[in-house]
Amino acid sequence: MPLLYTIGKLTVAPALRLAFRPTVEGLEHIPDTGGAIFAGNHLSVADELFLGTVVPRHLAFWAKSEYFNGSGAKGAFSKFLLTGLGAIPVERGGGRAALSAFDAAIPALRSGDLVAVYPEGTRSPDGRLYRGRTGAVRLAVAAGVPIIPVGVTGTDKVQPIGARVPRPGKAKITIRFGKPLDFTGRPDDRTSLRTMTDELMAEIQKLTGQKYVPRYAPRRGESTPA
């Protein structure tokens, strides 16, 4: 476990559990050893914070590459923090650059680490669960590891879009872990990846109770579908 992550588990995590008292269900589905992908819904930037708080092992998150490439003191601190936490930079522009995140995640998973991915690709703008992108399943098939579905509720009230920090008392946070999904050995063609991703999103929906939208979530600035 990276040093900064260990320090956070000993300091920040207990403080968050005390202040927010999140309800956690399904911890028995988290393997004691071996690689796995945590794939969950995405309501708030606080999702990563609380997921890292309740998962007992190191959890590597994908983070936008610009957080690693900022300028000045703020940029240097961001890079230091994310690198020290073991985050994996990902390019959002697509193409070969975006595949670098896969190149980094696959050996980490094969060596026994845990990686968190949000299949929706962005935060839900309205609390609904949107169609999943196939990256999480493609990564699981390539690395030969299971996917653990994750359902989080309440974080959109505790830290809504635009809020700088989580606020205690705004809502009850619940984090549910589902039974691992094993897609190893399944075909990795486009149709199969789509089918497996839909299976994954159905499991996440069971954990959250969200209304499902069979379209990709809009990026910030785009109109929200009805």
Q: CATH number of the domain that 35 lies in?
A: 3.40.1130.10
Question: How many Cα atoms sit within 13 Å of 174 on the Cβ side?
Answer: 9
105 located within any domain = yes
Neighbours of 28 (CB within 10 A): 8
CA 114 from chain centre, in angstroms, equals: 11
132 located within any domain = yes
223 located within any domain = no
**pTM greater than 0.85:** yes
- Give the tens place of pLDDT for each residue, 94-114: 555 557 778 889 999 999 999
Q: Give me the number of domains the chain comprises.
A: 1
222 located within any domain = no
113 located within any domain = yes
Residue 115's closest CA among 35, 180, 182, 55? 35
221 located within any domain = no
196 located within any domain = yes
- Give the tens place of pLDDT for each residue, 166-206: 999 989 999 999 999 999 889 999 999 999 999 999 999 99
Range of the domain at 179: 3-213
